[in-house]
């Protein structure tokens, strides 16, 4: 079976050669859900560029599942020359998780949750057990990014940062090679811009209700450029993925 069709699992680290053990939730999924057996192959990823094709040498199923794997081929995939961080507005229900899933599959290199004035979800309100709702929601975003990276067979799992305010986001924008704010009421289009070939690009996606004038002013004063993608209005859950696809075609990110 070619490497492009083998299932991908995440490991804490990957040795260059020899054997490696897979345990925890990843091993339970491999042994119980995928029902991998001795002699079958899979790909291990350390989430930061390291990948390895492995053959299953031993399987222990059950609650304390583990797999012993022999490394057949080890390689490293570099980040693109132009890296894209997506600042995603908090969204109600599962729309935020959908946005993270689609952005990860489309190639986002990092994701920053953004607390906007019009975000219905606030995250910091109330508690559930020993964690706040915000901590639970952030954990779901991070789990979603891990799962989507495996599904997309990515060597890099995008980091999901702690949520930021608009002022904090403006500070982040000042460290970037370029910052783009997606906004439907803007005449400038992505195709009108000269995009950097290397460095870091910040892509900002607002909430369903749109970005306020004050937020847009704060971001543009920090060096951001407001743009629209096309003639239609996209949901907050799909906008980043569409923009990432356009960036892949307009730059060397997909080469």
Give the pLDDT confidence of 15-39 residue by residue, as tens digits: 999 999 999 999 999 999 899 999 9
pLDDT at position 73 over 70: yes
For residues 215 and 230, membership in a common domain is answered with yes
Tokens of residue 206, six digits: 């607002």
Q: What CATH number is given to the structural domain containing 50?
A: 2.40.240.20
Report how far residue 18's alpha carbon sits from residue 101's, in angstroms, rounded to the nearest whole number.
33
What pLDDT score was predicted for residue 1?
A: 52
What pLDDT score was predicted for residue 137?
A: 93
What pLDDT score was predicted for residue 99?
A: 98
What pLDDT score was predicted for residue 63?
A: 84
Q: Indicate the residue among 61, 76, 91 that finishes a domain.
A: 76
The structural domain count of the chain equals 2
Q: What is the mean pLDDT of residues 43-68?
A: 94
Percent with pLDDT over 90 in the chain:
82
Tokens of residue 186, six digits: 């803007």
pLDDT at position 153 over 60: yes
What pLDDT score was predicted for residue 61?
A: 87
List CB contacts of 255: < 8 A, sequence separation 6 or more: none
List CB contacts of 232: < 8 A, sequence separation 6 or more: none
């Amino acid at each position: 079976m070619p490497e492009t069709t083998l299932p991908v699992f995440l490991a804490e680290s990957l040795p260059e050669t020899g054997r490696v053990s897979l345990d925890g939730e990843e091993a339970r999924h491999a042994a119980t859900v995928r029902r991998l057996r001795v002699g079958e192959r899979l790909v291990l990823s350390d989430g930061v560029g390291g990948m390895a094709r492995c053959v299953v040498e031993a399987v222990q199923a059950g609650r304390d599942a583990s797999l012993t794997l022999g490394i057949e081929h080890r390689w490293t995939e570099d980040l693109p020359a132009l890296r894209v961080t997506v600042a995603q507005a908090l969204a109600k229900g599962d729309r935020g998780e959908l946005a993270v899933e689609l952005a990860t599959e489309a190639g986002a290199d990092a994701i920053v949750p953004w607390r906007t004035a019009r975000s219905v979800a606030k995250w910091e309100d109330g508690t559930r057990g020993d964690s706040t709702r915000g901590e639970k929601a952030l954990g779901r975003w991070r789990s979603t990014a891990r799962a989507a990276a495996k599904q997309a067979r990515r060597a890099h799992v995008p980091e999901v940062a702690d949520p930021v305010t608009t002022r904090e986001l403006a500070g982040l924008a000042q460290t970037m090679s370029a910052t783009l704010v997606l906004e439907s009421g803007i005449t400038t289009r992505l195709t009108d811009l000269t995009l950097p070939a290397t460095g870091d690009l910040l892509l900002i996606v607002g909430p369903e209700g749109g970005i306020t004038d004050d937020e847009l002013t704060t971001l543009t004063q920090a060096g951001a450029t407001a743009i629209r993608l096309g003639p239609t209005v996209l949901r907050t859950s799909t906008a980043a993925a569409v923009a990432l696809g356009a960036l892949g075609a307009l730059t060397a990110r997909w080469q």
